[in-house]
């Protein structure tokens, strides 16, 4: 174990948690302390002896504190290799003292981005320059210098200093260096993500006519521009989860820094035990579907697939109809609403023999919250999450979706194609009625959120049957029809991809389906059209596939 004594330490921190205790511990070993601005003020007020950075560099802090540590007498002291005779001779000739430890954390850039009301100028001012430079310099020279970049490291570092009479091992210095590089890499990624998001927003709103061209040429993704040749991801851990999909798997929930739009990542947990890995997956699916509807809507998700969805004149009506879509599957499911949950809806939710894992909604009325958190069979089990108003953020439509495979990621633009039926093509002799058209559009929106092969049956804008995740599309049709039972008569059917054979049409006709929406594009499209004409079924093609693996 290669030990290096710490004789001189530079402290410059934004987060001052544990700072005074750390500095006192260092001074116990007669380590000389150098510090800057507010950090030095905090330490001197605590009665510690600290040398001001200006005494070391011979220059005062400049430009309102923007320039203070960017100086050869600082970086030379950090970067000099102690076993390199030429390096040490240079330090001596220039009157530079070695710095053996850098205690530094960074300006709160991510926190400033996340804080509501922060201006662009405030956010830019919280981009740290000197801090990352010192941290990277110390981490690069970890053979000789320890870099302490997080208050959470203080306890372990002090314990080792005590165990080794003021020295640290090479293994510890290398581990600290790795953590420091992770910090600066994430910090830079967060800054990059903020600027790309800001520029995308300007392009979306049309405020800057040159942005689209720049985003495309720079390699950043936007509106069909090429995906970047290099992709840096930075996520902040929001919470450690009890386990993953199964109890033997570890799991955590990471979020994008600076994310503010209403979503699962920003939702406030109001009640209930901690969320699980599977809860979060289902909550995301439920909310993404619920927000697709303009009228009061309720969605029931089970195992990442909708088993119920409906709209109504009131939220209570929407929930009742959504739950009745498949009550058996709805037991233990996750429910999303696109309106504030009121007392009437909460009363429906808490009827006897109903068990729901999670409810996510823009808001809960006081009466609804009281009902959901005091009823005996509910208060200990249900989790309640509040998102705030489900506003439309244009940047959401241009976001990227990621799927992890062994050794890498698959990245694609989000499936946010317009589903307004403007380009709908009626291909059968019989045109759909207005009521059928409304059901077809509803079924099409739901189908987009169902795992392929996906078949959705809808009647009066209420899901009555779903077939999901089958290897054969006709098997999905059979499943949806079985779930629907007699409700399939007069229903509309949506298929996320084309029909390879007419057997799906024949099965739908037997069940009483009267209208079908599908993308089209099969070599046998005409066979399906002919089958619909034989059965008197109206069929429309969208030209858009919504396959979801």
Got the DSSP string for 248-266?
TS-EEEEE-TT--SSSTTT
Interval 499-523 mean pLDDT? 94
pLDDT for residue 226 is more than 80: no
Q: How many Å is the maximal CA-CA distance in the chain?
A: 96
> How much is the pLDDT for 210?
41
Share of the chain above pLDDT 70, in %: 90
Third-level CATH fold of 3-192: Rossmann fold (3.40.50)
At 117, the pLDDT band (50, 70, 90 cuts) reads confident
Distance CA 420, CA 90 (A): 71
Q: What is the pLDDT of residues 20-41, one digit of tens each?
A: 999 999 988 989 999 888 888 8
Q: Where in the chain is the domain with CATH 3.40.140.20?
A: 269-386, 425-541
At 211, the pLDDT band (50, 70, 90 cuts) reads very low
Q: Which CATH superfamily is domain 425-541 in?
A: AICAR transformylase, duplication domain (3.40.140.20)
pLDDT for residue 217 is more than 50: no
End-to-end CA distance of the chain: 51
> How much is the pLDDT for 438?
95
Q: What is the pLDDT of residues 436-477, one digit of tens each?
A: 999 999 999 999 999 989 999 999 999 999 999 899 999 999
Lowest mean pLDDT of 117-121, 159-163, 217-221, 430-434, name the range: 217-221
**Mean pLDDT, the chain, integer:** 87
> How much is the pLDDT for 202?
59
At 221, the pLDDT band (50, 70, 90 cuts) reads very low
- φ and ψ at 455, to 5 degrees? -130, 130
> How much is the pLDDT for 368?
95
Lowest mean pLDDT of 5-9, 66-70, 420-424, name the range: 66-70
Strand partners, 241: 251
> How much is the pLDDT for 214?
39
Interval 367-386 mean pLDDT? 87
Positions annotated as catalytic residues are: 140, 303
At 547, the pLDDT band (50, 70, 90 cuts) reads confident
pLDDT for residue 148 is more than 70: yes
Q: Where in the chain is the domain with CATH 3.40.50.1380?
A: 3-192
What CATH architecture applies to the domain 269-386? 3-Layer(aba) Sandwich (3.40)
> How much is the pLDDT for 346?
94
pLDDT for residue 195 is more than 80: no
> What pairing do the DSSP bridges indicate for beta strands 146-148 and 455-458?
unpaired
Count of residues making up the chain: 549
Do residues 215 and 222 make contact, with C-beta atoms less than 8 angstroms apart? yes
pTM (2 decimals)?
A: 0.76
> How much is the pLDDT for 255?
87
The residues, any chain, with a CB within 8 Å of residue 52's CB and separated by 6 or more, are 34, 35, 36, 40
Interval 258-272 mean pLDDT? 87
pLDDT for residue 68 is more than 70: no
| Three-state SS at 331 | coil
> How much is the pLDDT for 418?
64
Range 13-19 contact pairs with CB under 8 angstroms and sequence separation of 24 or more: 13/39, 13/103, 13/104, 13/105, 13/151, 14/105, 14/106, 14/107, 14/108, 14/128, 14/131, 15/105, 15/108, 15/151, 16/42, 17/151, 18/151, 18/154, 19/43, 19/103, 19/151
Distance CA 229, CA 152 (A): 35
Do residues 505 and 535 make contact, with C-beta atoms less than 8 angstroms apart? yes
pLDDT for residue 208 is more than 60: no
Is the peptide bond prior to 453 cis by the omega test (within 30 degrees of 0)? yes
At 428, the pLDDT band (50, 70, 90 cuts) reads very high
| pLDDT, greater one: 548 or 221 | 548
Interval 507-524 mean pLDDT? 94
């Amino acid at each position: 174990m290669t030990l290096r004594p710490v004789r001189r330490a530079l402290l410059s921190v934004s987060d001052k948690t544990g700072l005074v205790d750390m500095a006192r511990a260092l001074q116990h070993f007669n380590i000389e302390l150098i510090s800057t601005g507010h950090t030095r003020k905090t330490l001197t007020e605590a009665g510690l002896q600290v040398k001001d950075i200006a005494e070391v560099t011979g220059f005062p802090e400049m430009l309102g504190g923007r320039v203070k540590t960017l100086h050869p007498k600082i970086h030379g002291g950090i970067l000099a290799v102690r076993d390199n005779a030429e390096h040490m001779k240079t330090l001596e000739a220039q009157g530079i003292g070695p710095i053996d430890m850098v205690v530094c954390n960074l300006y709160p850039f991510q926190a400033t981005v996340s804080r509501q009301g922060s201006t662009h100028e405030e956010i830019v001012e919280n981009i740290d320059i000197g801090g990352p430079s010192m941290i990277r310099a110390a981490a690069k020279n970890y053979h000789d210098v320890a870099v302490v970049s997080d208050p959470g490291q203080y306890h372990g570092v002090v314990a080792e200093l005590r165990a080794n009479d003021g020295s640290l091992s090479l293994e510890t210095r290398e581990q600290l260096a790795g953590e420091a590089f992770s910090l600066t890499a994430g910090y830079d990624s967060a800054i990059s993500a903020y600027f790309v998001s800001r520029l995308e927003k300007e392009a979306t709103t049309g405020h800057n006519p040159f942005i689209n061209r720049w985003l495309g040429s720079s390699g950043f993704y936007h509106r069909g521009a090429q995906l970047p040749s290099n992709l840096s991801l930075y996520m902040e851990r929001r919470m450690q989860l009890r386990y993953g999909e199964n109890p033997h798997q570890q799991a955590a929930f990471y979020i994008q820094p600076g994310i503010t739009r209403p979503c699962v990542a920003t939702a406030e947990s109001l009640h209930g035990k901690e969320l699980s890995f599977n809860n979060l997956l289902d909550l995301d699916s439920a909310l993404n579907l619920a927000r697709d509807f303009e009228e009061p809507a309720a969605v029931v998700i089970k195992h990442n697939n909708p088993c119920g969805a409906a709209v109504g004149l009131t939220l209570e009506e929407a929930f009742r109809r959504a739950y009745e879509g498949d009550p058996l599957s709805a037991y233990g499911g996750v429910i999303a609403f696109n309106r504030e949950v009121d007392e009437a809806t909460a009363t429906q939710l808490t009827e006897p023999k109903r068990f729901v894992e999670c409810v996510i909604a823009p808001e809960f009325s006081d009466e609804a919250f009281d009902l959901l958190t005091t009823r005996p069979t509910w208060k200990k089990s249900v989790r309640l999450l509040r998102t705030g108003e489900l506003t439309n953020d244009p940047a959401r439509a241009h976001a990227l979706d990621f799927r992890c495979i062994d050794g890498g990621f698959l990245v694609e633009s989000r499936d946010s194609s317009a589903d307004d039926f403007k380009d709908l093509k009626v291909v059968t002799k019989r045109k759909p009625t207005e009521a059928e058209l409304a059901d077809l559009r509803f079924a099409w929106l739901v189908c987009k959120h169902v795992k392929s092969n996906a078949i959705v049956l809808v009647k009066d804008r209420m899901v009555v049957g779903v077939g999901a995740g089958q290897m054969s599309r006709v098997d999905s049709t059979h499943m949806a029809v079985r779930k629907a039972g007699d409700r399939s008569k007069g229903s509309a059917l949506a298929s996320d991809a084309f029909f390879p054979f007419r057997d799906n049409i024949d099965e739908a006709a037997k069940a009483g389906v009267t209208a079908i929406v599908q993308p089209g594009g099969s070599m046998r499209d005409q066979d399906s059209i002919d089958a619909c004409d034989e059965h008197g079924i109206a069929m429309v093609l969208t030209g858009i596939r919504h396959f979801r693996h």
